[in-house]
Amino acid sequence: MVYKIRVILDAKEDIFRDIEVKGKQTLWNLHLGIKSAFSLQGDELSTFNLLEEDGTIVKSVPLEDMSDDGDGEIMSDVYIDEAFASAGDKAQFQYGLLDLWEFFCELVEVIEETKGVNYPITVYRFGNVPLKAPTKNGSGGGSKKKSAMPLMDDEFSFEDDFGGGNNFADEDDNFDDDEEEDYNDDVFDDEDDADDER
């Protein structure tokens, strides 16, 4: 049997692809199908999060085993018919790390296999894929999601550490430029006197 899965890019605009994949293929095959359908470049890390109806994550299935003991479940271990048991079953697909693409996958229907077709295959395309991963608010241009680099996150800011930066303005008002100028003049005068003595 063939599973038709609608893959929707998490963006402000409607951008989705319908991908058909065989039930006895794995999440790894679907991962390749999504990469092809959305023209995702490179070999970034990716993860499928299998979801309950309310959006709760049942389990995460990464592309590669990141567990300490090396026996974690990976995409090539999970068949499509296990991950998507019935129509309406959902999963979240995340691709990349710093430039994070997020997709929502939903099983639309299960159909008969067409002979001679090389699955997975994209059977329907809607919307244009942006060049960069959409941000949280949906516009293109790099991810604003929490990254592995905490200094890049919004909660760390220069203004917070220094009280909004207003302290510096008060110091400028009380600064006496005349004293500084007199001091500099004295230094130059001393040097001139030393030159005259030579």
The token pair at 126 is: 């809607």
Residue ranges of domains in the chain, CATH in brackets = 2-126 (3.10.290.30)
* Backbone dihedral angles phi then psi of residue 181, each to the nearest 5 degrees: -65, -45
pLDDT digit of tens for each residue in the chain (198 aa)?
Answer: 999 999 999 999 999 999 999 999 999 999 999 999 999 988 888 999 999 988 899 999 998 877 777 778 899 999 999 999 999 999 999 999 888 999 999 999 999 999 999 999 999 999 999 988 888 654 444 434 443 444 444 444 445 554 554 544 555 555 555 555 555 555 555 555 555 555
Question: Could you tell me if 107 and 17 are in contact, meaning their C-beta atoms sit under 8 angstroms apart?
Answer: no
d(C-alpha 44, C-alpha 36), whole Å: 13
